[in-house]
């Protein structure tokens, strides 16, 4: 089954062609970073307008790169939420028009399911990589979410923990702004942290002592702000140490809770997903700490961690009838829950 995936939930316009939820024939992404950078964050109205300008060209390119035409496509999968309403509506309108005009099945996909099912896409660097076999635990860490999910079956997900305030990616972006590193902040902090000392400053690990699997990152962000106010000289002299210490606090909190949940639920597989799963330290630390406990960690290739449309096509394939809707029932749902 060859699906066209469409993703416009935030600031990336994306389309992809994926066969059987696994084999990626094309994965096209038009980034809007340059238009939002000057504002230090995503401006929803700009995101929506840019999606409308580029969506047709992005879909066209995805088909051409796959060497396919609409005749070869068996269905259209689109992100219906969660996300920015003005952004979602552009992808949904495009998918609806295509499904109606071409008489194709339509699939309404939850963006978070997309991140999870990125783990099912073929890894071009490791074609023999094992697929996660349910049950397993999935940590979804993105700009809007930090959710610990117990995947009982591919179509049965239970949220067992989530952030009580900022998402991990949001904390990265806000702290990057405090440090003057620009937007998006995650990759900038990740890079800078590599030349800093992660033990230089002891920033707080939110809800460290609590037995729950909830996360909290707003206290960490505030601690970095107070530190910069008390030591303005560190802004230049010790920027890399601050970045590394901040990152160590985030990664520690994510690893602690995820490994505790895996032990509690008796799970031996953890999958990572979402933009923050691209973080080099999180990938390394979680793998190292998990392997000492006999737990294996699956991580999607970098291009499938951050927002993309291949993961949306994968989610549609694996959820099948649960996601399938009549084209005129494709509706934007900005608060689409797990
Ligand atoms: O999944 P995603 O592309 O979009 C959402 O669904 O939110 O995640 C974007 C988030 C941003 O907050 C970005 O700063 C963060 O992922 N991010 C990273 C890295 N790459 C992207 N955070 C830490 N380290 C990275 N290498
Ligand atoms: Zn995302």
Does the beta carbon of 83 sit less than 6 angstroms from any atom of ligand 1? Answer: no
Does the beta carbon of 172 sit less than 6 angstroms from any atom of ligand 1? Answer: yes
Q: Which atom, in ligand 1's list, is nearest to the CA of 176? A: 14
**CA 39 to CA 34: how far, in whole Å?**
10
Does the beta carbon of 181 sit less than 6 angstroms from any atom of ligand 1? Answer: no
Tell me phi and psi for residue 84, to 5 degrees.
-80, 125
Q: Which atom, in ligand 1's list, is nearest to the CA of 307? A: 3
| Residue of the CA atom closest to atom 14 of ligand 1 | 186
Which range in 15-29, 128-142, 205-219 is most confidently predicted, on average pLDDT? 15-29
Tell which CATH architecture fits domain 2-124+304-329.
2-Layer Sandwich (3.30)
Does the beta carbon of 190 sit less than 6 angstroms from any atom of ligand 1? Answer: yes
CB atoms < 10 A from the CB of 87, how many?
30
Does the beta carbon of 278 sit less than 6 angstroms from any atom of ligand 1? Answer: yes
**CA 275 to CA 256: how far, in whole Å?**
19
| Residue of the CA atom closest to atom 16 of ligand 1 | 275
Angle between the N-to-C axes of helices 85-102 and 44-66, in degrees from 0 to 180, rounded to the nearest 10: 30
Q: What is the pLDDT of residues 8-23, one digit of tens each?
A: 999 999 999 999 999 9
Q: Give distance in angstroms: CA of 101 to centre of ligand 2.
A: 29
In the three-class reduction of DSSP (H, G, I as helix; E, B as strand; rest coil), residue 91 is classed as: helix
**CA 191 to CA 88: how far, in whole Å?**
31
How many residues make up the chain in this entry? 338
pLDDT band at 291 (very low <50, low <70, confident <90, very high): very high
Average predicted confidence (pLDDT) for the chain: 96
pTM: 0.97
**CA 157 to CA 143: how far, in whole Å?**
20
Residue 280 CB burial class (10 angstroms; 0-12, 13-18, ≥19): middle
The sign of the dihedral angle between the CA atoms of 158, 164, 165, 167 is negative
- Are the CB atoms for 312 and 109 separated by under 8 Å? yes
Does the beta carbon of 276 sit less than 6 angstroms from any atom of ligand 1? Answer: yes
Q: Give distance in angstroms: CA of 142 to centre of ligand 2.
A: 6
Tell me phi and psi for residue 173, to 5 degrees.
-65, -40
**CA 314 to CA 312: how far, in whole Å?**
5
- Are the CB atoms for 27 and 309 separated by under 8 Å? yes
The pLDDT score that the predictor gives to residue 112 is 98
Q: Give distance in angstroms: CA of 147 to centre of ligand 1.
A: 14
Q: Is the pLDDT of residue 210 over 90?
A: no
Does the beta carbon of 10 sit less than 6 angstroms from any atom of ligand 1? Answer: yes
Domain range annotation of the chain: 2-124+304-329, 136-300
Q: Give distance in angstroms: CA of 231 to centre of ligand 2.
A: 35
Q: Give distance in angstroms: CA of 207 to centre of ligand 2.
A: 25
The pLDDT score that the predictor gives to residue 162 is 97
Q: Which atom, in ligand 1's list, is nearest to the CA of 185? A: 14
- Is there a common fold for 2-124+304-329 and 136-300? yes
Q: What is the pLDDT of residues 155-168, one digit of tens each?
A: 899 999 999 999 99
- More confident position, 306 or 126: 306
Q: Is the pLDDT of residue 42 over 80?
A: yes
- Are the CB atoms for 104 and 136 separated by under 8 Å? no
**CA 118 to CA 127: how far, in whole Å?**
14
In the three-class reduction of DSSP (H, G, I as helix; E, B as strand; rest coil), residue 288 is classed as: helix
Q: Give distance in angstroms: CA of 68 to centre of ligand 1.
A: 31
Does the beta carbon of 41 sit less than 6 angstroms from any atom of ligand 1? Answer: no
**CA 127 to CA 124: how far, in whole Å?**
6
* CATH superfamily label, 136-300: ATPase, nucleotide binding domain (3.30.420.40)
Element (H, E) at 150: strand 146-153
In the three-class reduction of DSSP (H, G, I as helix; E, B as strand; rest coil), residue 215 is classed as: strand
């Amino acid at each position: 089954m060859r699906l066209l995936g469409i993703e416009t939930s935030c600031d990336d316009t994306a389309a992809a062609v994926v066969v059987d939820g696994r084999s990626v024939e094309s994965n096209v992404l038009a980034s809007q970073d340059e238009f939002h950078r000057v504002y230090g964050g995503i401006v929803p109205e700009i995101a929506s307008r840019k999606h409308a300008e580029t969506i047709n060209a992005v879909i066209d390119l995805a088909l051409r790169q796959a060497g396919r035409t609409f005749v070869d496509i068996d269905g259209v999968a689109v992100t219906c939420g969660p996300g920015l309403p003005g952004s979602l509506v552009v992808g949904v309108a495009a998918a609806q028009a295509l499904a109606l005009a071409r008489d194709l099945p339509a699939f309404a996909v939850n963006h978070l399911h997309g991140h999870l099912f990125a783990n099912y896409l073929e890894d071009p660097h490791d074609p023999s990589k094992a697929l996660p076999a349910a049950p397993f635990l999935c940590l979804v860490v993105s700009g809007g979410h930090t959710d610990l999910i117990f995947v009982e079956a591919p179509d049965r997900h239970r949220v067992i923990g989530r952030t009580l305030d900022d998402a991990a990616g949001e904390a990265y972006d806000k702290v990057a702004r405090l440090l003057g590193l620009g937007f998006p902040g995650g990759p900038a902090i990740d890079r800078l942290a590599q030349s800093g000392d992660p033990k230089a400053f002891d920033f707080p690990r939110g809800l460290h002592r609590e037995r729950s699997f909830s996360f909290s990152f707003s206290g960490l962000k505030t601690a970095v702000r107070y530190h910069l106010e008390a030591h303005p000289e560190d802004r230049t002299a010790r920027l890399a140490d601050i970045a590394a210490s901040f990152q160590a606090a985030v990664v520690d909190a994510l690893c602690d809770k995820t490994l505790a949940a895996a032990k509690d639920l008796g799970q031996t597989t953890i999958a990572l997903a979402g933009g923050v799963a691209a973080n080099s330290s999180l990938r390394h630390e979680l793998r190292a700490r998990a392997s000492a406990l006999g737990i294996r960690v699956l991580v999607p290739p970098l291009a499938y961690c951050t927002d993309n449309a291949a993961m949306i096509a994968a989610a549609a394939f694996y959820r099948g009838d649960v996601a399938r809707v009549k084209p005129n029932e494709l509706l934007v749902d900005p608060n689409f829950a797990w």
